[in-house]
A and B are shown apart, each in its own frame.
Chain A
């Protein structure tokens, strides 16, 4: 067994009020994929920030090639061969692929000017070494797909001779075929002796490509194990400290009359001719690839980007919805896809974030009733079991799952009749996920109509009474709970044109089963 390239020993890191890491160990050997697992708030992000020089640990040591080192900045870490690819890719959209790859260390001519020819040819070389031969290095990065941008980031890391590559949820935002390519690139990097730290919420990926796995929980080190000696159940129970026997506790609900109906809803370029109905007590899952028009149709219904054609009916009566405010008056709520940029106001406390949708209702004579507002915050914390020290906590400091619960809470405060949720459990930990599923189930039982957009097949299959499938802006299929299978949903999502059986299968292979 080869000695580790990078070792983190007894790492402790605290922030005001929180111990983010408490005596944590981690190491990475050449040519291995070391998966890092844990719920949101377990300390994964903090650990990789320590490893990449963003944070300095309060105590503990970082050892590279047997020598203790100190990272004063990410640059120091890069100089030691540690590169990080964050979830939000940090590229310059207005610059070319080659410029991005060599940002900060462009080859120079003898006169000190940038040597464009060398830069382009070296970029092509690096990309070719990753079996990427379909990329134009003179293209602006902003015009590339997310999958391609990610490959540019990997090339950039290699151009700096990275020996350790940290990848934070690399598959969260890319398509299945991109995931496949990513895995083959990771295989190539392994052969070259690069150590890969792999963070993902998708357990099946850990089993697909991981060699070892380290689990963190609440900032503490739980264990490091070879992946082939683990099972999903074991991993999940290590992560949450308890065994979850049913991730999707869908309860039976009485399905009543139609609350929301859309007819031939169209918004140019994103959604065409979409018609469906939503009944009381029903959870309707909406499947489809990213970019198939799912979120777009939700935003049309919610009035964020109003429709160009078609009609929306609430309780059988046609309504005009051109702003979110109007949609809210008809009892529609929309939990957006990205809680960070669309859901939360980070500078505000939990109380202000939960009351923001109901300020008028909480007010009397132009002043907000503080008591009622605080009460609302307390009951939201309780109802959704949000881990916060109270209504005054700034939401920016909560973990991902708890942030999502705050956003859910602010919509429940409006007592909606129609709840549209867009990727309700993306990027949140297993425990919070189960809680949100249970909540949705209960809300449906109480008669709420729920439209659930999701990219996770188990979530779609486990939660939905009916499943709608979107593809290229159109509604292409509908399945009852009984009819629905991974295969027929997957087929409908991918379509027959241009895709052979193999890619459909790989799509299905990518589906995670966590229960």
Chain B
């Protein structure tokens, strides 16, 4: 009897308007989407130029490579690990990609098309290899991921500067610019058409990859295992899931996505530089603000993608609101704290 009434009251509870609102606000993805729309509308009403197609293109596409790298970061963090070497790895792989494309000493049978294909594919493979090495050290040698990747951060940064001599790469062959953001006509338009016109190559890659990864993480045994290992490693192991294999998978895929992001980054502009901004921090910020719990076990790549766009929107909005761009980092930091607090609050309520 008790269980029947309980079931009924639980049902009723679940579909009341207030509980729907609560569940909307309870998911980081919907909060971010709402915040993103509100931000665009608000900044647009303050300064109409913000809604110009050219700007919208940059708002959506500008952080696409961050969003793609965040796919891997999401997996790594969900398993309860972290990778702080992704920024160095990405710049290294970008330079590798550029270097392959401009290298002139190939034998004569190597066509430019093949060179370009190599420049697109090889960084992804190298990324996977680096991920495999990190994963191996973390799992089989039992060294915490933050220490291992701190080491890799320095190693890669150092090697990069030695090998490149700090030079930049230019003069990539035609056809190399896979992820070029081609600004469309510079006209101010209402928001929706502008949105569709922003479907440039980077956005296309970002959306397709995010959807694929989201489906894979949600509906595949391995995807599920990522959450299980991050949620309770011992219970997962006692359920027959191999933690080592799962964590290795996460790091390898992380390397793959950093590789793809690197190629996107390299082919976006006509110059590839050894500037070393703390990209890893932006990627981790996007992941965490996207709702991936830093303690592991929860979060989605959709959230991370929305957060990547959101972060870029803030940066661009500051320009249009005439606020110093130096606020960007401070705002990002605040977002991280707010998100982590919200996560803790949710966990607290769940365990109550």
A384 to B317, CA, bound (A): 55
Instruction: Determine if B326 is an interface residue (Cβ-Cβ < 8 Å).
Output: no
Instruction: Determine if A394 is an interface residue (Cβ-Cβ < 8 Å).
Output: yes
B219 contacts A368, CB within 8 Å? yes
Please classify how large the interface on chain B is, using the bins under 10, 10 to 19, 20 to 34, 35 or more. 35 or more
A302 to B237, CA, bound (A): 11
B236 contacts A345, CB within 8 Å? yes
A363 contacts B349, CB within 8 Å? no
B297 contacts A347, CB within 8 Å? yes
Instruction: Determine if A189 is an interface residue (Cβ-Cβ < 8 Å).
Output: no
Residues in B115-162 with C-beta less than 8 Å from chain A: none
B219 contacts A370, CB within 8 Å? yes
B21 contact set on A, CB distance < 8 A: none
B232 contacts A344, CB within 8 Å? yes
A15 to B350, CA, bound (A): 10
Task: Identify which of B10, B11, B232, B236 gathers the most chain A CB atoms within 10 Å of its CB.
Answer: B232
Q: Shortest beta-carbon distance, B222 to chain A, in Å?
A: 8
Given A356-B239, A387-B6, the answer on whether A363 and B221 have CB atoms closer than 8 Å is: yes
Instruction: Determine if B220 is an interface residue (Cβ-Cβ < 8 Å).
Output: yes
B219 contacts A356, CB within 8 Å? no
Residues in B1-42 with C-beta less than 8 Å from chain A: 2-3, 6-7, 10-11, 13-14, 22
A342 contacts B227, CB within 8 Å? no
> Among the listed A302, A327, A342, A359, which residue makes an inter-chain contact with B225, where contact means beta carbons less than 8 Å apart?
A359
Residues in A148-186 with C-beta less than 8 Å from chain B: none
Q: Shortest beta-carbon distance, A219 to chain B, in Å?
A: 11
Given A323-B242, A347-B227, the answer on whether A360 and B235 have CB atoms closer than 8 Å is: no
Instruction: Determine if B167 is an interface residue (Cβ-Cβ < 8 Å).
Output: no
> Among the listed B14, B240, B349, which residue makes an inter-chain contact with A357, where contact means beta carbons less than 8 Å apart?
B240
**Total cross-chain contacts (CB, 8 A):** 99
A397 contact set on B, CB distance < 8 A: 350
A360 to B240, CA, bound (A): 11
Nearest CB in chain B to that of A411: its residue: B239
A286 to B164, CA, bound (A): 67
B228 contacts A394, CB within 8 Å? no
B238 contacts A334, CB within 8 Å? yes
Instruction: Determine if B335 is an interface residue (Cβ-Cβ < 8 Å).
Output: no
Interface of A is mostly: mixed
A324 contacts B239, CB within 8 Å? yes
A385 contact set on B, CB distance < 8 A: 3
B110 contact set on A, CB distance < 8 A: none
Instruction: Determine if B352 is an interface residue (Cβ-Cβ < 8 Å).
Output: yes
> Among the listed B2, B228, B351, which residue makes an inter-chain contact with A396, where contact means beta carbons less than 8 Å apart?
B351
Given A356-B228, A368-B221, the answer on whether A346 and B238 have CB atoms closer than 8 Å is: no
Q: Mark A325-369, 1 if CB is under 8 A from B, else 0.
A: 101100000101000011111111000100011011001001110
Residues in A354-407 with C-beta less than 8 Å from chain B: 356-357, 359-360, 363, 366-368, 370, 385, 387, 389-390, 394, 396-397
Given A218-B2, A323-B242, A325-B240, the answer on whether A15 and B352 have CB atoms closer than 8 Å is: yes
Instruction: Determine if A16 is an interface residue (Cβ-Cβ < 8 Å).
Output: yes
Q: Shortest beta-carbon distance, B10 to chain A, in Å?
A: 4
> Among the listed A16, A17, A363, which residue makes an inter-chain contact with B220, where contact means beta carbons less than 8 Å apart?
A363
Nearest CB in chain A to that of B215: its residue: A367
Q: Mark B204-231, 1 if CB is under 8 A from A, else 0.
A: 0000000000011001111011011001
Given A218-B2, A385-B3, the answer on whether A348 and B231 have CB atoms closer than 8 Å is: yes
A343 contacts B240, CB within 8 Å? no
Q: Shortest beta-carbon distance, A407 to chain B, in Å?
A: 9
A367 contacts B239, CB within 8 Å? no
Instruction: Determine if B298 is an interface residue (Cβ-Cβ < 8 Å).
Output: yes
Nearest CB in chain B to that of A348: its residue: B231
B228 contact set on A, CB distance < 8 A: 345, 348, 352, 356
B232 contacts A360, CB within 8 Å? no
A324 contacts B221, CB within 8 Å? no
B240 contacts A341, CB within 8 Å? no
B235 contacts A345, CB within 8 Å? yes
Instruction: Determine if A474 is an interface residue (Cβ-Cβ < 8 Å).
Output: no
A359 to B222, CA, bound (A): 9
B239 contact set on A, CB distance < 8 A: 324, 356-357, 410
B240 contact set on A, CB distance < 8 A: 323-325, 327-328, 357
Task: Identify which of A344, A347, A367 gathers the most chain B CB atoms within 10 Å of its CB.
Answer: A347
B318 contact set on A, CB distance < 8 A: none
Q: Shortest beta-carbon distance, A372 to chain B, in Å?
A: 12
Nearest CB in chain A to that of B296: its residue: A347
Given A16-B349, A387-B3, the answer on whether A324 and B13 have CB atoms closer than 8 Å is: no
B224 contacts A389, CB within 8 Å? no
Q: Shortest beta-carbon distance, A43 to chain B, in Å?
A: 13
Instruction: Determine if A479 is an interface residue (Cβ-Cβ < 8 Å).
Output: no
A397 to B222, CA, bound (A): 26
A389 contacts B6, CB within 8 Å? yes
Nearest CB in chain A to that of B6: its residue: A387
A327 contact set on B, CB distance < 8 A: 240
Nearest CB in chain A to that of B224: its residue: A359
A55 to B348, CA, bound (A): 12
Q: Shortest beta-carbon distance, A40 to chain B, in Å?
A: 14
A389 to B220, CA, bound (A): 25
B236 contact set on A, CB distance < 8 A: 345, 356
A59 to B235, CA, bound (A): 38
B279 contact set on A, CB distance < 8 A: none
Nearest CB in chain A to that of B297: its residue: A347
A304 to B298, CA, bound (A): 25
Q: Shortest beta-carbon distance, A359 to chain B, in Å?
A: 4
Nearest CB in chain B to that of A393: its residue: B10
A323 to B10, CA, bound (A): 40
> Among the listed A55, A218, A324, A346, which residue makes an inter-chain contact with B231, where contact means beta carbons less than 8 Å apart?
A346
B235 contacts A342, CB within 8 Å? yes
Instruction: Determine if B241 is an interface residue (Cβ-Cβ < 8 Å).
Output: yes
Q: Shortest beta-carbon distance, B79 to chain A, in Å?
A: 13
A16 contact set on B, CB distance < 8 A: 13, 22, 349
Q: Shortest beta-carbon distance, B274 to chain A, in Å?
A: 39
A367 contact set on B, CB distance < 8 A: 215, 219-220
A15 to B240, CA, bound (A): 34
A387 contact set on B, CB distance < 8 A: 2-3, 6
A356 contact set on B, CB distance < 8 A: 224, 228, 236, 239, 241
A348 contact set on B, CB distance < 8 A: 227-228, 231
A356 to B14, CA, bound (A): 26
Given A356-B228, A396-B351, the answer on whether A368 and B220 have CB atoms closer than 8 Å is: yes
B113 contact set on A, CB distance < 8 A: none
A324 contacts B237, CB within 8 Å? yes
Instruction: Determine if B234 is an interface residue (Cβ-Cβ < 8 Å).
Output: yes
A38 to B193, CA, bound (A): 62
B221 contact set on A, CB distance < 8 A: 359-360, 363, 366, 368
B14 contact set on A, CB distance < 8 A: 389
Nearest CB in chain A to that of B298: its residue: A347
Residues in A307-323 with C-beta less than 8 Å from chain B: 323
B234 contacts A342, CB within 8 Å? yes
Interface pairs (10), CB distance under 8 Å: A323-B240, A324-B237, A324-B239, A342-B238, A345-B232, A346-B231, A347-B298, A363-B221, A370-B219, A397-B350
Q: List chain B positions with a Cβ less than 8 A from chain A.
A: 2-3, 6-7, 10-11, 13-14, 22, 215-216, 219-222, 224-225, 227-228, 231-232, 234-242, 297-298, 349-352
